[in-house]
Structure 1
Amino acid sequence: MNQTSQIRPVKKFGPGYFIHEQLELREWGREEFAEVTAFSQKHINELLNNEKSISLDTARILGEIFNTSAQYWLNLDHEYHIWLRQ
């Protein structure tokens, strides 16, 4: 029988996964996403690969263009980083 210290919660997906989903729904490539957000290609790659945390400014931009709240993006990022540390 497994001890509770060996049990890990189901994988959490980082914000990059959900950004990618939104891009697919809109049929946007990285170039269109860069135009709409004014993010650099480097910043976009870091977000999509979950290599960069979501800042408040980034969360506000994502919320505005994807019709969500900034808090949604901050929560996704926070929960993902908590999961990584478990």
Structure 2
Amino acid sequence: MAVKKVAVTLPEELFEMVERARMIEHRSRSEVIQEALRTHFGEPVYVPTDEERRMLDQALMDLRQHPESGRSWDEVRREHWPPV
């Protein structure tokens, strides 16, 4: 998919919302804003099932109890999406 890079000016309140979302979800600003635009314009957005939410909650609880078991996103990407 071709991409275009744009500069956007946001009120501080919206910027803080984007920052909170990206930190909580471990996503980039671009990903958060793209999802917001897709939602606004009606494109389907991924919504996890109740089971997926339960699994995520459990994984986060496990990570809080055993932080040494955590892995960086870079490590996960290298494992699951190796360079072509």
Q: What's the TM-score once normalised by structure 1's chain length?
A: 0.29
The structure whose Rg is larger is 2
